[in-house]
Structure 1
Amino acid sequence: MSDTPKKVLVPADDLRTFSAALLQQGGLSPEHARTTADVFVWAALRGVDSHGIARVPAYLELLAKGVANARAEITVESTTPAAAVLDADRAPGPVALSAAADEAVKRAKATGIASVGVRRTVHTGAIGYYVSRIAEQGLVGLGFVAGMPNMGYTGVKGAAVATSPLAIAVPAQSHAPLVLDMATATIALGKIRQARASGTALPEGAAATEDGTPTTDPEQAVMPLPLGGAKGSGMSLAFELLTSVLVGAPIFSAFHSDDPQGRGHRQNALLIAVDPAAFGDPSAFTAAVDTTLGTLKSLPVTDGADGVFYPGERSAAVAVERGEKGVPVTPKVWRELTESAAKFGVEVPSV
């Protein structure tokens, strides 16, 4: 009989209410706490546990230290109908980017396409959520994020650029939306930590030592390497230009300068919404998306594969299953959550 602690299963609605209560006790307003909890539970439902409920204790720490501003005054500046800049005032990413997604949808419905830059936010969470939020309104969503340099760059010693992600969501008619959500790194930092804890060797070309030397030794690895080498690092640099530099809040150049403030945690983003109605019949568009996805899935399957899947399809299926059976939470994360609940006097849901 195994003594390995088992994950607990918590109903998604209970987990959302519980997370929101903790975040509210951490200083967020009830509305912002619910918004942030929504993002975490969305990720947890889809199996993206690294950006799910495990983030609640980390956000409580960001709020307690003042890195995230619990009472941020978010403002929107615009000089043209199709574009705006949302200044987050260091609000948590889920709060800032949810507002930016809604702003992009509102503007795109009037102009056909719209973009909203997000300046000075703190940890955006799973950006697939925000483009999915746009797709739920029948629009195509695109998102880019730039953060603190923590990844190698081809030819540079040490950390140079960020593992900046991109996400695209395309609505369909009968299929689950296509949701592509990926980092520009070969593996996530969390995967390096997991490999170190388990003593498992890392894949070739996935991580590097502090000076940028590739290694498969998890004890020596401190940062991920870019996806596709120069391709991934080039994308990360481009996202810095499309987000941070575009909204007047450079991260990369400040990080590598002599200014000590340049290493303070922050992130910037750009969300774009495209209304298919601006290009023709929106129902014909989603029908054609269905046909495209169906065509992909009907292609011959290679030996040993369990099927052909498009981005976001399996995550959507996981969300259905977890929605019915409950969301698994690791013993470590559950312990941290219940400890925070005891500290704040928040009721713990049954599992």
Structure 2
Amino acid sequence: MTHAPSKVLVPAEDLRTFSAALLEKGGLSPEHALTTADVFVWAALRGVDSHGTARVPAYLELLAKGVANADPDIRIESTTPAAAVVDADRAPGPVALSAAADEAVRRARTTGIASVGVRRTVHTGAIGYYVSKIAEQGMVGLGFVAGMPNMGYTGVKGAAVATSPLAIAVPAAERDPLLLDMATATIALGKIRQARASGSPLPEGAAATEDGTPTTDPATAVMPLPLGGAKGSGMSLAFELLTSVLVGAPIFAAFHSDDPQGRKHRQNALLIAIDPAAFGDPDAFTAAVDTTLGTLKGLPAADGAEGVFYPGERSASVAVRRGEQGVPVAPKVWRELTENAEKLGVTPPAVA
């Protein structure tokens, strides 16, 4: 019996430097390459491997095909102090949304709350990263993203809306911030692919065939179904209005039209920063966040539960452990990274 090769362990800093070097060879500026690599390594550290360094080869492909713009002309448009639009010019999502998060925080320092839309970016990565950046500045961060339709909509035959995610980060005083990062789908597309590879049945109501018929068979499942049926459907549609339609770059309507341009990969986003200082004493706020989270954790755990956890708590502890021990990278991903490294003339780091 052959055993599957074990994951390689790479120190986080080495993984960040390596990923940035590959992305720079792929055409990004050193600054943009480092920003993009940082988003991937942040996700990998927290155990969100689907949005971790596995994304580097995919981004190299987006850059090589010209789907992502390696040299974007990013512009910030604004007519009012509390709102702006970042026109990304097809910049990679990590570049565009990092700029939007910085802009939202900068404006919210003056206005108490600020919204920054992102127009015409490509794959945003883990959106928890951007709201976490806002929380690091002592503010509450909210993020919404809309992308290409790849999920069912209650009552519609076939793929209708996107698995558009929502993320919320709330800073605390002593505890790790609350970080809610969720898609509007019951299950991620990557999980369907994993189930297909392993032959494992899918949960009831999580996925559907091409015509929208629910199935547990990973061989025939092609799209996820919305979380909570009409609730997830409605959230996804609302996020399209809050992002794409708001910034004048509709995706949903164009996708379902006869215009072939409507099928070109793109994403839009909206980030909001809220300064607790605008509502009262910011230190009292974070102390009360700690109390609230502590109260939750003090509630009696249900039978069989490992404990009581708030959103983002477990992934923060995974990040600490992986920061000390190294980031595990799946053999297939490591092979793809090293093959790209050989092609691009980049030396991979030493691994355990």
Bucket of the pairwise TM-score, normalised by the shorter protein = over 0.9
Instruction: For 1:7, give the aligned amino acid.
Output: K
What pairs with 1:46-57 in structure 2 (closer than 5 Å)? 46-57=46-57
**Per-residue CA shift, 1:76-126, capped at 9, x if unaligned?**
000000000000000000000000000000000010000000000000000
1-structure distance, mates of 2:344, 2:197: 31
Q: Which amino acid aligns with 2:57?
A: P
Aligned to 1:86: 86
C-alpha distance in structure 2 between counterparts of 1:303 and 1:95, whole Å: 44
Q: Supply the distance in 2 between the matched residues of 1:244 and 1:62 (Cα, whole angstroms).
A: 21
SS at match of 1:101: helix
**2:32 aligned partner:** 32
**Cα deviations across residues 231-268 of structure 1 (Å, max 9, x unaligned)?**
00000000000000000000000000000000000000
1:56-71 alignment runs, 5 A limit? 56-71=56-71
How far did residue 3 of structure 1 move? Answer: 2.3
Q: How does 1:136-155 map to 2 (within 5 A)?
A: 136-155=136-155
- Provide the rounded CA distance (Å) in 2 between the counterparts of 1:317 and 1:59: 28
Instruction: Say yes or no: does 1:168 pair with 2:172.
Output: no
1:207 and 1:108 map into 2 onto residues whose CA distance is 40
Q: For residue 17 of structure 1, what is the amino acid of its counterpart? A: T
Cα deviation code 1:27-80 (max 9, x no counterpart): 000000000000000000000000000000000000000000000010000000
User: Over residues 269-326 of structure 1, what are the superposed CA-to-partner deviations in whole Å (9 max), with x where a residue is unaligned?
Assistant: 0000000000000000000000000000000011111100000000000000000000
Distance 1:315 1:104 in 2: 25
The equivalent residue for 1:203 is: 203
Q: In structure 1, what is the Cα distance between the partners aligned to 2:237 and 2:301?
A: 36
Q: Read off the aligned partner of 1:304 and give its amino acid letter.
A: G
Matching of residue 111 in structure 1 with residue 111 in structure 2? yes
Aligned to 1:130: 130
CA distance in 1, matches of 2:307, 2:73: 48
The residue type equivalent to 1:204 in the other structure is E
User: What residue is the counterpart of 2:44 in the other structure?
Assistant: 44
Instruction: For 1:338 and 1:248, locate their aligned partners in 2 and report how far apart those are by CA, in whole Å.
Output: 40
**Matched AA of 2:248:** G
Please state whether the residue corresponding to 1:265 is helix, strand or coil.
coil
What is the letter of the counterpart of residue 162 of structure 2? A
Aligned length: 351
Normalised to the residue count of structure 1, the TM-score between the two structures is: 1.00
SS state at 1:346 partner: coil
1:334 aligns with 2:345: no
Unaligned 5+ runs, structure 1: none
User: Could you say which residue in structure 1 is the equivalent of 2:317?
Assistant: 317
Say whether residues 1:283 and 2:296 are aligned partners.
Answer: no
Q: 1:2: Cα distance to partner? A: 5.0
Unaligned runs of 5+ in 2: none
Q: Distance in 1 between matches of 2:64 and 2:2?
A: 38
For residue 157 of structure 1, report the CA deviation from its aligned partner. Answer: 0.4
Q: Which residue of 2 aligns with 1:189?
A: 189
One-letter amino acid of the structure 1 residue matched with residue 163 of structure 2: T
Cα-Cα RMSD: 0.6
Note the 1:202-241 alignment, pairs <5 A: 202-241=202-241
- Residue 300 of structure 1 corresponds to which residue in structure 2? 300
- Residue identity over aligned pairs, in percent, reads 87
